[in-house]
Structure 1
Amino acid sequence: MRNARLLTVTALAVATGALAVPASAAPGPPAGGLEIRPATVTPGSTVTVHTTACGSGGTAAGDASAVGAGPFALAPAAHQESREAAAGRFKVPPSAQPGTYEIVATCSGSGGSGAKGKRIAGDLVVTITSTAAAGERHQQLPRGHVKTGVGGALGPDPVQTAAGVAALAVAAAGGTWLLHRRARGDRI
């Protein structure tokens, strides 16, 4: 029941755009903050983190423990146009649950303007939907039967299951009736 509610809430949020953040919406690292690309991911995705808060040539120690990924390093970016940005990467564990997680970093390197020790944060949204190449959102649903080790002759169809239960009830009632007649001494 919990999974059904979670799927319904997630589908509603995606339909209204609450979970969708276009990649083009954020032109660069927020001043003094932590930019997370992509901001919305599925479990198992790789995430890139950027910041300019640590100053030119600054480094930072990142922490993605909230989502279960652990520590990661941010080093000065290799791009000419973003010399003041520090960047790092981490992988969201496949076991991550949907939700919003705070990713933090603490400036530690030789960045200017007294940035050492400065704590910066950004939000990462983990969903059960993936982004298709065309930019559309598709829901990933489980497929197949649950493998419990217990066979089933009727299958997962509720109509067939109800018919099977009804057949067993009729057989049990008939057996009880026959045993009752036999106990009374009635002949069949």
Structure 2
Amino acid sequence: MRVTARLLTGTALAVAAAGLIAPAPGYAGDAVARGGLEVYPASVVPGERATVRTAACGEDGAAAGDAGAVGAGAFPLAPGAGGGGARGDFEVPPSAQPGTYEIVATCGSDGLRVTGDLVVTLTSAREQVYPRGSVKTGVGGALGPDPVQTAAGVAALAVAAAGGTWLLHRRARGDGI
């Protein structure tokens, strides 16, 4: 049993290694560079604009963008003024559903395809909602949501502090309790 397992494991490793070393057949137009497309901001809400940029097309290369996965359609990428590669903008449609979408750009000179991910959310990072209020743990708390109870607690502490100070003052004078 062990010999069979070792033989099968060795064969599987040899096949995997051969597959990694041998070049995969394909055409230049089918090449996909994963992660070569930068999307800013990476997370948007429906109706906002997104900007994409890639240096994979060369300094002066133009590209054709495709945001059809999110429903925005095709858009052009033109060479940037700063020499940072091709850059383009598109608007995420207001009907876009939350999720992660693949944005594709195809270089005009060699047909190289680069991809990047765009995340569509319902709330923007600028509109982040933070929790507020009290937590119902059953233990209670110093500050509850009721301002009348809070004021009563503060008044009780003030009376106790004043009474304690008065008693300590009497004891120090020798009046007794």
Q: What TM-score, normalized to structure 2?
A: 0.52
Question: How far apart are residue 122 of structure 1 and its match?
Answer: 0.2
Q: How far apart are the structure 2 equivalents of 1:58 and 1:72? A: 15
Q: What TM-score, normalized to structure 1?
A: 0.49
Give the 3 Å change call, closer, same or farther, for CA 87–100 of structure 1 in structure 2: same
- In the alignment, which residue of structure 1 is the partner of 2:86? 86
8 Å contact kept, 2:34–2:115: no
Residue of structure 2 aligned with 1:51, choices 45, 54, 59: 54
Aligned partner letter, 2:85: A
- In the alignment, which residue of structure 2 is the partner of 1:125? 119
Q: CA RMSD in A?
A: 2.1
Q: What stretches of structure 1 of length at least 5 have no aligned partner? A: 1-29, 110-115, 140-188
Name the % identity. 62
String of CA shifts for 1:48-69, please: whole Å, max 9, x gaps. Answer: 0000000110010000000000
Give the 3 Å change call, closer, same or farther, for CA 31–123 of structure 1 in structure 2: closer
Aligned partner letter, 2:104: V
Q: How far apart are the structure 2 equivalents of 1:123 and 1:89? A: 14
* SS in structure 2 at match of 1:55: coil
- Pairs within 5 Å for 1:8-47: 33-47=36-50
* SS in structure 1 at match of 2:124: strand
Aligned partner letter, 2:129: H
- In the alignment, which residue of structure 2 is the partner of 1:75? 78
Q: What stretches of structure 2 of length at least 5 have no aligned partner? A: 1-32, 131-177
1:138 aligns with 2:129: yes
Q: How far apart are the structure 2 equivalents of 1:96 and 1:61? A: 21
- In the alignment, which residue of structure 2 is the partner of 1:12? none
Question: How far apart are residue 137 of structure 1 and its match?
Answer: 1.7
Q: How far apart are the structure 2 equivalents of 1:58 and 1:138? A: 42
Task: Give the structure with higher Rg (CA).
Answer: 2
Q: How far apart are the structure 2 equivalents of 1:39 and 1:50? A: 12
* SS in structure 2 at match of 1:67: coil
Q: How far apart are the structure 2 equivalents of 1:131 and 1:122? A: 20
Count of aligned pairs: 98
Greater relative contact order, per chain length (Cα 8 Å cut-off, separation 6+)? 2
* SS in structure 2 at match of 1:89: strand
Q: How far apart are the structure 1 equivalents of 2:35 and 2:60? A: 15
8 Å contact kept, 1:130–1:138: no
Question: How far apart are residue 130 of structure 1 and its match?
Answer: 1.2
